[in-house]
């Protein structure tokens, strides 16, 4: 398979995985719990630059189911797209690992504060904690495994 086709397939697969994981686990994927296991994929741009688009598209489609409505579809998806880009841009550096955690905590908490009158700092800490568990606890081992697999 030619490289452009391979990248396009990878974008589609990452988007589909993000959507499927979020839909199957939708009870924990939205609002202040935000324990979204699909966020484990947010470190993939370190290995696959095209994962930035796969994550953005996947988050957009997954957020169509969000009880927060259009604001989550737009702002949540843009947050994931931005975090994925920062992860790609600063791959293998601390900021690349922290981007999904910090950006989701700061931005998602802000609009949840406006939508649901949730306390900003408690929501931000809750989202940061759950993102850290998923991104570092699942995403980092996934990244480590894929990197070893690529080196074969």
pLDDT digits (tens, 9 = 90+) for 56-93: 999 999 999 999 899 999 999 999 999 999 999 999 99
CATH code assigned at 137: 1.10.1760
Which residues are within 8 A (CB) of 72 and not within 5 positions of it... i.e. 6 or more apart? Answer: 30, 63, 66, 111
Q: How far apart are CA 109 and CA 89, in angstroms?
A: 24
d(CA 71, CA 80): 13
**pLDDT > 90? residue 33:** no
**pTM for the full model?**
0.95
Computed from CA positions of residues 107, 32, 69, 9, in that sequence, does the dihedral angle turn out positive or negative? Answer: positive
Radius of gyration of the CA atoms of the chain, in A: 15
Domain count for the chain, please give it: 1
With 80 as the cut, is the pLDDT of residue 111 above it? yes
Q: How far apart are CA 43 and CA 34, in angstroms?
A: 17
Parent domain of 83: 3-26+34-150
DSSP 46-112: GT-TTHHHHHHHHHHHHHTT-TTTHHIIIIIHHHHHHHHHHHHHTTTSHHHHHHHHHHIIIIIHHHH
């Amino acid at each position: 398979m030619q490289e452009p086709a391979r990248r396009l397939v990878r974008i589609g697969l990452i988007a589909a995985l993000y959507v499927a994981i979020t839909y199957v686990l939708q009870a924990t994927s939205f609002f202040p719990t935000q324990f979204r296991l699909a966020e484990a994929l947010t470190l993939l741009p370190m290995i696959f630059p095209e994962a930035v688009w796969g994550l953005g598209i996947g988050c957009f489609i997954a957020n169509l189911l969000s009880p927060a409505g259009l604001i989550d579809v737009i702002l949540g998806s843009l947050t994931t797209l931005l975090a994925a880009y920062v992860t790609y841009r600063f791959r293998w550096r601390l900021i690349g690992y922290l981007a999904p955690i910090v950006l989701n905590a700061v931005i998602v908490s802000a609009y949840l504060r406006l939508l649901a009158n949730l306390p900003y700092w408690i929501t931000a800490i809750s989202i940061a904690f759950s993102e850290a568990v998923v991104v570092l606890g699942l995403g980092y081992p996934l990244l480590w495994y894929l990197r070893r697999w690529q080196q074969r």
